[in-house]
Amino acid sequence: MGATEEVEEPIDVGEKLEEVVDFVQGVNEDNDPYDLIVAREGEEDEDDENNHTVYEFKRAKTVGDLPERLGNFAEDKIETKQQAVADESKEAVEYAAANISNQSDYVQHVLADDVPRFEQYQDLLTTDDFEQTDYINEDGEGPEFQVILIRDGTEDRALVFQDITRREILGRDDKIRFWSTDDHYTDVDKTIVEVPNRIDAVYYDGHIFIFDQRRFEKIFDYMDEFNEVAEDTVEEIVDSDVPIHTDDVFLDAVTSYPNATRIFYAVRERALWEHEDVDMNTFDYIVDEFDLSIDIEERDGEEGIVLEDKRNVWEVIHLYNDDHLSSPITEVGYQVEGKDARTEEVGEE
Mean pLDDT of the chain: 86
pLDDT of residue 188: 64
Average pLDDT of the segment spanning 119-128 = 92
118 three-class SS: helix
Q: Where residue 12 falls among pLDDT bands split at 50, 70, 90?
A: confident
Is 6 a residue whose pLDDT tops 60? no
- pLDDT tens for residues 14-63? 899 999 999 999 988 777 799 999 999 877 766 666 667 889 999 998 87
Cα–Cα distance for residue pair 320/238, rounded to 1 Å: 12
Task: Please choose, from the candidates 346, 113, 79, the residue with its C-alpha nearest in 3D space to the C-alpha of residue 207.
Answer: 113
* Average pLDDT estimate for 273-302: 92
Task: Indicate the domain borders of the chain.
Answer: 13-220, 224-335
Question: How many CA atoms, within 13 angstroms, populate the side-chain half-sphere of residue 258?
Answer: 11
Q: 91-110: per-residue pLDDT in tens?
A: 999 999 888 888 899 999 99
Overall average pLDDT of the 332-344 stretch? 72
Residue 199 has pLDDT above 90, yes or no: yes
Torsion sign across C-alpha atoms 185, 186, 191, 197: negative
pLDDT-above-70 percentage for the chain: 85
Residue 241 scores a pLDDT above 70: yes
211 and 201 Cβ atoms separated by less than 8 Å? yes
34-41/145-151 β-pairing: antiparallel
Provide the whole-model pTM.
0.82
pLDDT classification of 158: cutoffs 50, 70, 90: very high
The pLDDT, as a whole number, for residue 178 is 64
Residue 222, classed as helix, strand or coil, is helix
- Asked if residue 346 has pLDDT above 60, the reply is no
Q: What is the largest CA-CA distance in the chain?
A: 86
Under a CB-based contact definition with an 8 Å cutoff, are residues 159 and 147 in contact?
Answer: yes
> What pLDDT does residue 98 have?
83
Confidence check: pLDDT of 342 > 70: no
Alpha helical stretches, state H, the chain: 13-26, 66-86, 123-126, 213-219, 222-238, 247-256, 258-270, 280-289, 313-320
pLDDT of residue 7: 47
If pLDDT is split at 50, 70 and 90, which confidence band does 141 have? confident
